[in-house]
Chains A and B, each alone.
Chain A
Amino acid sequence: MALKMVKGSIDRMFDKNLQDLVRGIRNHKEDEAKYISQCIDEIKQELKQDNIAVKANAVCKLTYLQMLGYDISWAAFNIIEVMSASKFTFKRIGYLAASQSFHEGTDVIMLTTNQIRKDLSSPSQYDTGVALTGLSCFVTPDLARDLANDIMTLMSHTKPYIRKKAVLIMYKVFLKYPESLRPAFPRLKEKLEDPDPGVQSAAVNVICELARRNPKNYLSLAPLFFKLMTSSTNNWVLIKIIKLFGALTPLEPRLGKKLIEPLTNLIHSTSAMSLLYECVNTVIAVLISLSSGMPNHSASIQLCVQKLRILIEDSDQNLKYLGLLAMSKILKTHPKSVQSHKDLILQCLDDKDESIRLRALDLLYGMVSKKNLMEIVKKLMTHVDKAEGTTYRDELLTKIIDICSQSNYQYITNFEWYISILVELTRLEGTRHGHLIAAQMLDVAIRVKAIRKFAVSQMSALLDSAHLLASSTQRNGICEVLYAAAWICGEFSEHLQEPHHTLEAMLRPKVTTLPGHIQAVYVQNVVKLYANILQQKEQAGEAEGAQAVTQLMVDRLPQFVQSADLEVQERASCILQLVKHIQKLQAKDVPVAEEVSTLFAGELNPVAPKAQKKVPVPEGLDLDAWINEPLSDSESEDERPRAVFHEEEQRRPKHRPSEADEEELARRREARKQEQANNPFYIKSSPSPQKRYQDAPGVEHIPVVQIDLSVPLKVPGLPMSDQYVKLEEERRHRQKLEKDKRRKKRKEKEKKGKRRHSSLPTESDEDIAPAQQVDIVTEEMPENALPSDEDDKDPNDPYRALDIDLDKPLADSEKLPIQKHRNAETSKSPEKDVPVVEKKSKKPKKKEKKHKEKERDKEKKKQKEKKEELSVNAVTTPKDECEDAKTEAQDEEDNAEGQDQDKKSPKHKKKKHKKEKEERTKGKKKSKKQPLGSEEAAGEPVQNGAPEEEPLPPESSYSLLAENSYVKMTCDIRGSLQEDSQVTVAIVLENRSSSILKGMELSVLDSLNARMTRPQGSSVHDGVPVPFQLPPGVSNEAQYVFTIQSIVMAQKLKGTLSFIAKNDEVATHEKLDFRLHFSCSSYLTTTPCYSDAFAKLLESGDLSMSSVKVDGIRMSFQNLLAKICFHHHFSVVERVDSCASMYSRSIQGHHVCLLVKKGENSVSVDGKCSDSTLLSNLLEEMKATLAKC
C-alpha cells in the first residue's frame, strides 16, 4: 500500500507539465498528430486521478491543445472540477480553460452557477476577478439571469479592481439577459463618476457599447457625458465619449451645435493623433446631422478637411488610411469640399498600399460629376491595365461600374461611351465579375431606349468575337457577358445591321462549349433573331432567303438538342420542332413571319427589386394555410412521384410542338397576352414590335435625332472608349455655341428641364447636356404596392433586445432575481417553482403610510420599498441559518431602519427570485430540457404568471383554508430540498370587512408527526402572532415553518386564527377555525432530471411500483401534464407523443418517477418510488386531481 503511494507520487513527478508538452510537440515535428493523441491519452489518465494539482496540470495542457485546434469539450466536467479548486493557482487554470472552450452549447455549464457565485463572493479579490473574467467569456442567458444580482452587488465593491471588472461584465449580462438592463442601469450610471479612472473608463465603455446599438435611449445621458468630455483627461475615455457623441448627434441636432466648439478646441489642442482623428470624425457626424438645418458651418468643414489632408499627406500609412476613411464620410454631405482635394486622392490611387488604394477608390465614387466622369474612368482604366493581382483589378472593375451607374446613371452624358467602356472591360482576363458587366449591359440596353441601336451593334460584334471570350475556358467569369450580348441581340434584333451574320455567329458549334445557362439564352434568342429575319425576308419577298434561314436553323439546332444541360436541351428540341413545322408551311408557300414574330411581341420592362415584396396580399388570403391537408409521411413518399410522372405522360402528347397547329398557336398567344395583361410585371403589350417604339409612353420625349452626328452611330469592330473623351470635348464646345442661340428660345429649355428627371445636377453640371436625350425607364412597381418602406431590422439582432427605455422609473416587477445562497438545486432548475401570488397592487398604500417619514436617497428607498412590500415576517428560522436569521430578526424589530442592501434576508431573495422565474416562464421559451415550462404557459397562462392585478387567479396553488365575513385564508405549502423535514406554509389573509383587523394570532394543534416551529420560549399552546395588521380590503401573506417527521402520509392539522376586528365604533374579538392539509404532493419539490439519469434510476431496481388509471378525461395531454407539474410539483423528463416520463423528489430525498400515458379517454399513471406508501398516497392524490379534469 505504502509502496503504491510512493509509486503514485513518483509517477506524478514524471507527469508532463505544459512546458514539457510544448517541447515534446516541437521535438515530434514529423508525427505531431500521433504524439498529441498520445499526450491526450496521458491527460485522460491524469484527469482520472484525485489529486487536484494533477488535474489542473492536465487541464492546462488541454488549453494549449485547444489553441492548436483540438476539441476539448469532452473534458468540460474536469474543467469545472479544476475551477472549483480552492487554490487560486488551479482555479485560474480552470477558468482559463473554461473561457477558451465553454459556450452556450456546453451542457455542464449549468453546474457552474453556484461555483461562480461562490467565487464572486470570495474574500480574495483575485478569486473574484478570475471568476468575472472567465464568466465574461462564457456567460449564458441562464448564468446571466442567476448571477446578475451578484454581479450588480460587485459593482459597488470596495476594490476598484473588482468594480471595473464587474462593470464591464454587465454588458455581457445585458446582452444575454436584457431584463437586467433597467434595474442595473442606475448603478452603472453612478459608475460614470467613480473616483477610480479604470472603473470610470469601464462604465463609459459599457454605456458606449449600449448606446451604439440603441442611441435614442441614451440621449438623456448627454449632459453627463458632456461634462465628462470637458473634464476628463484620459484619452481612452475621451475617445469613447466622442465616438458616442457621434452616434447621438443624428438624433438630437441641438447636441451637435453644442459639441462643435469643444470639439474644435480639442482638435486644435490635442497632440494625440487618435483623439484628433476621433474628434474630426465626430465633427463630421455633427455636420452631417446639421447639414439640413444650419448651412453655416463651412469653417468647421474646412478645418476638418484641412486636418484630414494633413493626415493623408502624412508618411504614416495608418494615418493616410484613416484620413481617407474620414474623408469619405464628409463626401456624402459636402462633396464639394472634398472635390477640391481631387489631386490628392487621385495620387493615392497610385499608392503601393492596396488598402489605401481601395479607400481612395471609395472616395472617387463621390467625386465624379458629369464633367469629370470620363476623365476619372479613363484613369481607372489605365489602372485596370496596370493592376497586378486580380482582386484589386476586380475591385477596380466594380468601382468603375459603381461610379458610372450610381444614382440612375446620373453622371453619364454619353451612353455610347459607357457601352464601349463595358465592352472594353470584357477584355479583362480572369475577372470574376463577368455577370456584373452583363447586368450593366442589359440594364442600359433595356432602360436607355435611344442607345439600343448602338448597343446591339456592339453586342453583335461581341458575339462575333465570342470565341475570344469563350476560348479562355469556362471557369472564366467573363463569358457571362455573352449572356447579355445574346439576349440584347435577340430582343432588339430589329436594330441589327446584319441579322443573318449574327444568327450564324450564334449558331457556331463553338457555342456549345459555353455554360448551360448561356447556351439556353442563345437558343431562345436565336429564335427571336430568326423571327425577325423571316419577317424581313418575307416583306422583301425573298421566299428563298427565308427558306435558307429556316434550313440553317434546322441544320444547326440539333447540336443544342444534344446538350447535357436540361434547359438547353428542352428549349432546343421545342424550337427545333417549331422550326420544322415552319419549314413545312414555307414549303407550301404559306406566309409565316407574322405568326412567328408575334411569339415575341410585347416589351420587357425592368422591375424594381422590391416589387415582388410590395405586391399586397389580397384580403382573405392566408398564405400559411394548407391548400390541401398534407399527406401523412408514409403515403406521400411512395405515391407522389408516381402521380407526378403519370400526369406528365398524359400531358405530353398534347403539348408536343410538332402537333401544335395554328389554332393551338393562336390559343397560346391569346393565353400569353392574357397572362401578360394580368401579370403586374408586364406593363403593356403592343401589337407588334415595329409599333412598339411609337406607342411606348415617354417615347415622345425622345428626340430621336438630337443625337449629334459627330458621334458615329456605327463603330466598326470593338470601339475605343478614349475617342469619346475627345469627341465629348468637341461636342461640349459646340453645345456652348448652340446654347447661346438657344437662349432666345427659352421655352425649349424649360421643356428640357422637365424632361430630365431623377437627377440633381450641380450648377456646373447644368451646362453639359447629355449627348443622347435619354429617357431612363424607371423600374416598375406593382400597381397597388404597399407604400411604406419598413426598416427591415434583423429580428435576430441580439442588440435589439437591449432597445429599452431607461428613463422610465423602475417597476417592481423588474428587480433582478435574487437568490438564496442555500437554494442551490432550485436555482439550477429553470423549471418554475410553486408560483407565488403577488398582491403588489394593494400593498404599497400601506407601505407608504408606514414609511412616509423616512428620508432616503432615491435608490435605497426604492430598494427598501420593494423589500417592505414583499416582507413577510414571522418565519421562525431554521437552526442552521442563524446568520441570516439574526439579520432578519433585526429587520423585524426596527424594520424602518435603513439597512445594508447587501444583507437582504434570504426569504426576500427567494421570493423575488421566484417571481422572476414566473415571469420568465411566462414570457420565454426555456431551454430544450424543459419544454413544458413554456407549453404550460401557453396552454394555461393563468396558472403560472398570476397577473399582478388579480388578487387570486382561478388556478392558483393557493387553496382555500377557511373564510368568514371578516377574513379569507388561503394557503400554499412548499418544501425545499435543503430542509429535509421542514415545509413552509404561506398563508394569505385577506380582509373582507370594513374594519381593521389587528392582533391576529394563529394557533395550531401539533400532531406527533407535524409540529409548528415557534419562536423560542413560547409554549406549544401559545398562538403565534401574525406580524401585520390588515386595513379593509387588504391582503397580506405570512409564512410559517412546520417540522414533519414522516412525509409518506398526508395529514391534517387543526388550527384557529383569532383577531380583533375594529371599526369606527367597536372592536370585537373574532376567531376562525381551519384545517391545514399537508398532502404528500406538498412534500415534493420540482427537480429537473435528465433522461439518462432518469433511465439509470429506473434501472437501479430499488424502486417500488404502483399505478392508477383514470377514465373520462378530455383535457389535452399537454394541459394534463401541466396540471401534474403544477399541483404535484413534477417536471417532465421526456415526452413522446401521448406518453411522458416525469420526475420529482421529496424533501427527504425520495425519488418519484412517473410514466403518464394518455389513451382515448383515459389516463394511466405508473409510478416508481423509493417508498411505496408515499407512492400510493401520491397516486391517490393525483387521481383526485385528474378526476377533476
Chain B
Amino acid sequence: MIQAILVFNNHGKPRLVRFYQRFPEEIQQQIVRETFHLVLKRDDNICNFLEGGSLIGGSDYKLIYRHYATLYFVFCVDSSESELGILDLIQVFVETLDKCFENVCELDLIFHMDKVHYILQEVVMGGMVLETNMNEIVAQIEAQNRLEKSEVSKQLCSSPGWVEKTWAEAGVCTCVGLCCCETSGNDTHLLSSLSPLKLMDLKVNQP
C-alpha cells in the first residue's frame, strides 16, 4: 500500500499532497516539512530509499523518492510494495505528466494542481497501484478531458467566468509570463534532468 504521495520543490513548497490515510492538515504539513528536510540532505547520487521512521506509520514504511529538476516526488510505501517497482511508478507518473502537459515543468504543477490530481487518480487509487501502462493512463485522461470540454462548451453561455482557461489551453506559456515564480523564471523541464538510473532495467511494465 502507498501511504502518501508528496510532491514539493527544492524549497519545500508543496505542489501535491495526497495522503491515503487520514492526518489532520497541520500534521500533513509537518510531514511534508520533515520529509523535505530528510530528502534535502541527500545527494542526488545516493540511494533513493529512506526509512521514514516515525513520520508515517512506523518501521514498516519507507520513503521512496526521485528528484526531477526542481521537484521531489516522494512516495511513502509499506513493505508490500516493491521498491524498484515504485521507483518505476514515479517515473511512469512523471512521464505521464509530461505527456499530458507537454514538456511538464514545475509551473504546470503549481497552476494545475487539480489536473495533476486527476492524473494521479488514474495511476494510484486509494493507495493501491491502479494502472502502470502509460498509454492507457493518457488515453483515459484524454477521454475525460474531451468530456469536460464538451460540457464546458455547453456551459459557456451560462457561466463565462468559469471557462477562461480549459485544460487544453492551459499550457505553460499562459502563466509563465504572468507571474513571478519562485524559481525566478528558471523553470526547467522536469524530465530534462532525468537521473541516470538504468531505466531499461527497471522498466517493469514491459509486456
Contacts and interface: CB of A to CB of B under 8 A. Distances in A.
Nearest to A86: B151
Nearest to A208: B80
A92 interface: yes
Interface string A193-226: 0000110011001101100100000000000000
Contacts of A77: none
A271 B201 contact: yes
A136 interface: yes
A201 B162 CA distance: 39
Contact of A206 (B20, B88, B128, B164): B128
Given A63-B113, A271-B201, A54 B159 contact: yes
Contact of B147 (A69, A126, A212): A126
A71 B25 contact: yes
A51 B121 CA distance: 27
Nearest to B165: A19
Interface string A88-128: 11001100100010011000000000000000000010100
A169 interface: yes
A554 interface: no
Interface stretch (A9-17, A493-501, A919-927): A9-17
Given A54-B159, A66-B25, A164-B130, A88 B144 contact: yes
A233 interface: yes
A355 B49 contact: yes
A410 interface: no
A89 B155 CA distance: 10
Interface string B195-207: 0011011111111
Contact of B82 (A27, A169, A277, A353): A277
Interface stretch (B67-75, B96-104, B177-185, B186-194): B177-185
Given A96-B118, A126-B143, A236 B207 contact: no
Interface of A: 9, 12-15, 17-19, 22-23, 26-27, 51, 53-54, 56-57, 60, 63-64, 66-71, 87-89, 92-93, 96, 100, 103-104, 124, 126, 130, 132-133, 136-137, 139, 161, 164-165, 168-169, 171-172, 197-198, 201-202, 205-206, 208-209, 212, 233-236, 239-240, 243, 271-275, 277-278, 316-318, 320-322, 352-356, 358
Contacts of B16: 67
Nearest to B132: A236
A137 B152 CA distance: 27
B136 to A, nearest CB: 7
A317 B46 contact: yes
B173 interface: no
Contacts of A133: 121, 125-126
B126 A239 contact: no
A317 B125 contact: no
B32 to A, nearest CB: 8
Interface string B135-160: 01000100110011001100100111
Contacts of A137: 20, 126
B54 interface: no
B37 to A, nearest CB: 12
A522 B207 CA distance: 71
A457 to B, nearest CB: 40
Contacts of A54: 159, 161-162
Nearest to A127: B147
Contact of B47 (A161, A169, A318): A318
A353 B84 CA distance: 18
A102 B185 CA distance: 36
B125 A161 contact: no
Given A137-B20, A355-B46, A273 B201 contact: yes
A49 B155 CA distance: 17
Contacts of B200: 271
Contacts of B1: 209
B95 interface: no
A18 B125 CA distance: 24
Nearest to B170: A19
Contact of A233 (B29, B155, B182, B207): B207
B80 A165 contact: no
A317 B45 contact: yes
Contacts of B10: none
A9 B28 CA distance: 37
Closest 7 CB pairs of A and B: A136-B126, A274-B84, A317-B47, A353-B46, A235-B204, A69-B29, A53-B159
Nearest to A277: B84
A275 B206 CA distance: 12
B130 A318 contact: no
Given A17-B164, A236-B129, A277-B82, 16 more contacts: A9-B159, A19-B111, A53-B159, A53-B162, A93-B114, A96-B114, A126-B143, A168-B125, A208-B80, A235-B205, A239-B204, A274-B84, A318-B83, A353-B43, A353-B47, A355-B46
10 contacts: A17-B162, A18-B111, A18-B114, A137-B126, A168-B125, A168-B126, A236-B85, A243-B82, A271-B200, A316-B197
Contacts of B43: 352-353
Given A92-B118, A352-B46, A205 B158 contact: no
B110 interface: yes
A584 B82 CA distance: 76
A137 B88 CA distance: 23
> In this complex, which of B17, B140, B161, B200 has the most chain A Cβ atoms within 10 angstroms of its Cβ?
B161
Contacts of A212: 80
B159 A168 contact: no
B30 to A, nearest CB: 9
A14 B200 CA distance: 49
A86 to B, nearest CB: 9
A201 B126 CA distance: 15
Contacts of B158: 51, 53
Contact of A22 (B111, B128, B161, B198): B111
A200 to B, nearest CB: 12
A206 B22 CA distance: 21
Contacts of A209: 1, 80, 128
Contact of B198 (A15, A68, A316): A316
Contacts of B22: 103-104
A876 B63 CA distance: 61
B147 A88 contact: yes
A355 B47 contact: yes
B171 interface: no
A12 B198 CA distance: 51
Interface string B53-65: 0000000000000
A272 B202 contact: yes
A14 B14 CA distance: 27
A93 B162 CA distance: 13
B165 to A, nearest CB: 7
A165 to B, nearest CB: 6
Contact of A26 (B160, B181, B202, B203): B181
Contact of B14 (A68, A169, A355): A68
Q: Give the interface centre of B46, B143, B144, B205 by most chain A CB atoms within 10 Å.
A: B46
B151 A89 contact: yes
A371 to B, nearest CB: 31
B117 interface: yes
Contacts of A168: 125-126, 128, 130
A274 B26 CA distance: 36
Contact of B151 (A9, A87, A103): A87
A322 B84 contact: yes
Nearest to B126: A136
Nearest to A15: B161
A9 B160 CA distance: 8
A24 to B, nearest CB: 10
Contacts of A68: 14, 29
Contact of A198 (B84, B131, B151, B206): B131
- Which of B24, B130, B205 gathers the greatest number of chain A CB atoms within 10 Å? B130
Nearest to B136: A198
B51 interface: yes
A318 B113 contact: no
Nearest to B17: A67
